[in-house]
């Protein structure tokens, strides 16, 4: 079998209903920042797609391609990687590619045949089932009393479930021998705050104490009423600003959702100084760098206001993630919800590891910051920690 035949076989077998999942790995170059790609079959709007999950060191990206687009995607990836593991319903396959793209194929029959169920796979991604009534979702107007998601609230239900996935992924980083302290800055209407409390306390039975903080008094009062009516005794809501909240010396998880501009940086800095084990942040309205960026090398982009605005937002979040990594966190930028629903779809997820950054990592950050000629607010807030 040559390389072209391999592409034909894979394209056919990945779309014939027997494909379970696979992994593409072993980059051909040491400089390739894409570490591996996970592949699986999914159903989108009743049509088969193949989903590629691109795993970088600190970023995960997803792309769903149609069967017609599949061959070209496989070709591009297999020209960059040397190994492929694939599982079908009745067989496991390992493919190794040499430098000259000679194909080495190994096959192993599966004794207990698996079944592909795309609809089941899609549903199990929802940690909160879309047909089960949840008191907090009913009270917040997302579900009807019998558990049906309201037509105009499907996007909100998906967003809540996506957030719960991030919470679930964070469980291993939270303490297990004491009360888990959680702060939510800028909680707003608190869909996600209630979801967090429900999942950790009701579904997982964890000992938690959650505080939601927001400036809107009327919203906080409504949230207090809902929490009381639901019997959420360890969920409190307070009126206040991030700058004014000085009640804690140690926090386990900090959540900040759509805190505008440098308010996000204030929350991130607070989280770091409290030694938070988990940080989940969805930034909003990144204006700080927009007015600062001066980089002639990027003028072809930055001469356009729209592009400059988007680039400033991406640069801001990249800088935030990098600064967190320099002060002992494993930081990733992840997709929160689809771009078609909102442009505010980047989530910063950071787990505290205590790892000390190398001199080369500090140098890399400084070079990027100097390229843009900016003075990030978060860097100033973390100055003492960065100099250690």
pLDDT, greater one: 117 or 21: 21
| Cα 348 from Cα 382, distance rounded (Å) | 17
Mean pLDDT computed over 107-129: 65
Quote the pLDDT of residue 241.
Answer: 78
Predicted local distance difference test score (pLDDT) of residue 114: 65
Judged against a pLDDT cut of 80, whether residue 116 lies above it is answered with no
* Tokens describing residue 380: 């100033």
pTM score, whole prediction: 0.69
Q: Tell me, which fold does domain 126-386 have in CATH?
A: Rossmann fold (3.40.50)
Q: Strands 180-185 and 103-109, how do they pair?
A: unpaired
Please list, in sequence order, all residues whose beta carbon lies within 8 angstroms of the beta carbon of residue 328, skipping any fewer than 6 positions away: 352, 353, 354, 355, 356, 357
What is the rounded CA–CA span in Å between residue 198 and residue 193? 9
Q: Strands, DSSP E only, in 66-130? A: 81-88, 91-97, 103-109
pLDDT for residue 122 is more than 60: no
Q: pLDDT (tens digit, 9 = 90+) per residue, 252-291?
A: 999 998 777 788 999 999 999 999 999 999 887 788 899 9
Quick one: pLDDT at residue 121?
47
State the span(s) of the chain assigned CATH 3.40.50.150.
126-386
Burial class (CB in 10 A: 0-12, 13-18, 19+), 354: exposed
Q: What average pLDDT score do residues 313-333 get? A: 95
């Amino acid at each position: 079998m040559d390389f072209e035949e391999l592409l034909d076989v894979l394209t056919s077998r990945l779309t014939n209903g027997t494909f379970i999942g696979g992994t593409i790995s072993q980059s051909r170059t040491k400089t390739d920042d894409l570490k591996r790609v996970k592949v699986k079959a999914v159903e989108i709007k009743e049509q088969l797609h193949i989903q590629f999950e691109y795993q970088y060191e600190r970023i995960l990206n997803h792309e769903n391609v149609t069967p017609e687009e599949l061959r070209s995607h496989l070709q591009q990836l297999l020209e960059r990687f040397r190994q492929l593991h694939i599982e079908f319903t009745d067989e496991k396959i390992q493919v190794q590619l040499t430098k000259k793209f000679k194909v080495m194929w190994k096959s192993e029959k599966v004794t207990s045949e698996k079944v592909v169920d795309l609809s089941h796979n899609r549903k199990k991604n929802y940690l909160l089932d879309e047909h089960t009534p949840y008191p907090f979702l009913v009270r917040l107007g997302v579900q009807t009393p019998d558990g049906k998601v309201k037509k105009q609230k499907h996007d909100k239900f998906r967003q809540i479930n996506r957030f719960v996935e991030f919470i679930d992924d964070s469980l291993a980083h939270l303490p297990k021998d004491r009360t888990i302290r959680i702060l939510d800055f800028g909680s707003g209407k608190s869909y996600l705050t209630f979801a967090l409390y429900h999942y950790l306390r009701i579904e997982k039975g964890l000992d938690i104490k959650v505080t939601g903080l927001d400036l809107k008094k009327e919203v906080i009062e409504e949230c207090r009423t809902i929490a009381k009516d639901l019997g959420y005794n360890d969920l409190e809501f307070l009126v206040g600003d991030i700058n004014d909240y000085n009640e804690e010396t140690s926090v386990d998880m900090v959540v900040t959702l759509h805190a505008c501009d440098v308010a996000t940086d204030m929350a991130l800095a607070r989280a770091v100084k409290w030694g938070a084990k988990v940080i989940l942040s969805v930034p909003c309205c990144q204006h700080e760098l927009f007015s600062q960026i001066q980089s002639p090398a990027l003028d072809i982009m930055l001469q356009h206001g729209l592009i400059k605005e988007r680039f400033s937002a991406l640069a801001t979040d990249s800088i935030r993630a990098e600064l967190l990594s320099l002060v002992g966190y494993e930081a990733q930028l992840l997709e929160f919800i689809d771009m078609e629903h909102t442009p505010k779809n980047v989530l910063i997820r950071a787990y505290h590891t205590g790892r000390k950054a190398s001199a080369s990592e500090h140098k890399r950050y400084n070079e990027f910051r100097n390229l843009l000629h900016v003075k990030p607010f978060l860097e100033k807030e973390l100055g003492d920690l960065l100099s250690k």
